[in-house]
């Protein structure tokens, strides 16, 4: 797959560029209902996860704060099988964080908690990580940094103005888990 990635990357980036031309509200409405992914949303998530896992997307997106796509692998808390989810990390004060846009109901959050934070981040290669949950009282600035870059795709889940002050983000912080990513060796 490593030799195919450089060949496919320009095509993938062109496709991503076309998708970004779609009205994000239209796309999100068809991908999520009542806070959960629809069958179309699951298909899109699987496709994005495949692209990201194989390193076919940029490792980080330009802009500030720095964000990047990744696939997180956790062990299913009930099945014991490997579960993969597409996530977007944000860099805040030198550390990388994952924010759950689907609040406490997100499977990757529940699986990470059940596994004591042990997970694998994939973007071309597999890297074992420890996910350290951030206390609710410290989440607001991290959620704000993440939301300022992802609001077009995530606003239906948080319903906030990306330029809102920290107190607005403190209001939703308890319901949206945040994990600091610590890369293990």
Q: What is the DSSP string of 70-109?
A: EEEEEE-TTT-SEEEEEEEEEEETTEEEEE-TTGGG-HHH
Percent over 90 (pLDDT), the chain = 38
Of the pLDDT bands very low, low, confident and very high (cuts 50, 70, 90), residue 7 is: low
Instruction: Please give the pLDDT value at position 133.
Output: 97
Of the pLDDT bands very low, low, confident and very high (cuts 50, 70, 90), residue 180 is: very high
Instruction: Please give the pLDDT value at position 29.
Output: 56
Instruction: Please give the pLDDT value at position 119.
Output: 97
Q: What is the largest CA-CA distance in the chain?
A: 48
Host H or E run for residue 173: helix 166-173
CATH code assigned at 26: 2.30.110.10
Residue range of the domain that includes 52: 5-183
Asked whether residue 156 carries a pLDDT value surpassing 90, the answer given is no
Distance CA 53, CA 73 (A): 10
CA-closest candidate to residue 140, choices 85, 92, 107, 89:
92
- Lowest mean pLDDT, pick from 63-72, 103-112, 127-136, 159-168: 159-168
Distance CA 180, CA 172 (A): 18
Asked whether residue 9 carries a pLDDT value surpassing 70, the answer given is no
Is the separation of the CB atoms in 66 and 90 below 8 Å?
yes
CA-closest candidate to residue 107, choices 182, 9, 35:
35
- Lowest mean pLDDT, pick from 46-50, 71-75, 80-84, 129-133: 46-50
Of the pLDDT bands very low, low, confident and very high (cuts 50, 70, 90), residue 178 is: very high
Is the separation of the CB atoms in 53 and 123 below 8 Å?
yes
pTM: 0.77
Of the pLDDT bands very low, low, confident and very high (cuts 50, 70, 90), residue 129 is: very high
Instruction: Please give the pLDDT value at position 34.
Output: 63
**What is the tally of structural domains in the chain?**
1
């Amino acid at each position: 797959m490593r030799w195919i990635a450089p060949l496919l990357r320009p095509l993938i980036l062109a496709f991503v560029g076309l998708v970004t031309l779609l009205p994000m509200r239209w796309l999100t409405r068809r991908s999520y209902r009542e806070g959960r992914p629809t069958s179309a949303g699951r298909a899109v998530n699987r496709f994005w996860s495949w692209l990201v896992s194989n390193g076919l997307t940029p490792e980080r997106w330009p802009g500030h704060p720095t964000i990047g796509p990744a696939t997180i692998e956790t062990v299913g808390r009930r099945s014991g099988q490997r579960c993969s989810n597409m996530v977007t990390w944000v860099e805040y004060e030198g550390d990388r964080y994952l924010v759950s846009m689907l609040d406490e109901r997100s499977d990757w959050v529940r699986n990470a908690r059940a596994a004591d934070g042990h997970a694998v981040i994939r973007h071309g290669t597999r890297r074992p990580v420890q996910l350290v949950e951030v206390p609710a009282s410290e989440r607001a600035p991290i959620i704000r940094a993440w939301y300022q870059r992802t609001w077009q795709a995530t606003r239906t889940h948080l319903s906030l103005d990306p330029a809102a002050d920290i107190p607005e983000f403190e209001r939703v912080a308890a319901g949206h888990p945040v994990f600091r990513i610590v890369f293990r060796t």
